[in-house]
Amino acid sequence: MSHLTPPQTLTREEICHLIDNCAYFCCLPSRDLDSLEQDLQTTSEPILPDSERDVYIRIQIEDGGNMIGNSSCYGLKKRLPQTETPVIQECKLLANLSGREHFNRI
């Protein structure tokens, strides 16, 4: 995760890899992010290449409306737009796991 830095663009394969390797995820409209992010406790510590700590990654997908509300990784990947270039907007270490109740558990 240390190689992911905002505002980095991602390929479809990179997004699918992130989806396949996440423990929690949530796909919602950007207007709903503030309330979700307020419950997360992040740290400004750097993400080390060998770190096993949990990371919060926010990815903007402009034409991702069909992905909203999906509760499965398969559904997210299936509805991932073919022509869109997703952009990482946030990538931060989590200080703890509080706030994860807003996310779907894999």
What is the rounded average pLDDT of the residues 15-22?
91
CA–CA separation, 48 vs 25, rounded Å? 21
List of residues 6+ apart from 90 with CB closer than 8 A: 6, 37, 56, 57, 58
52: three-class secondary structure by DSSP: coil
pLDDT tens digits along 44-97: 999 988 888 999 999 998 888 888 988 898 989 999 988 778 999 999 999 998
Model pLDDT for residues 42-53, shown as the tens digit of each residue = 999 999 888 889
Place of tokens 């992911």: 4
- What pLDDT is recorded for position 1? 64
What's the pTM value of the predicted model, to 2 decimals?
Answer: 0.86
Q: What is the DSSP letter of 73?
A: H
Between 84 and 102, the higher pLDDT residue: 102
2 has pLDDT over 70:
no
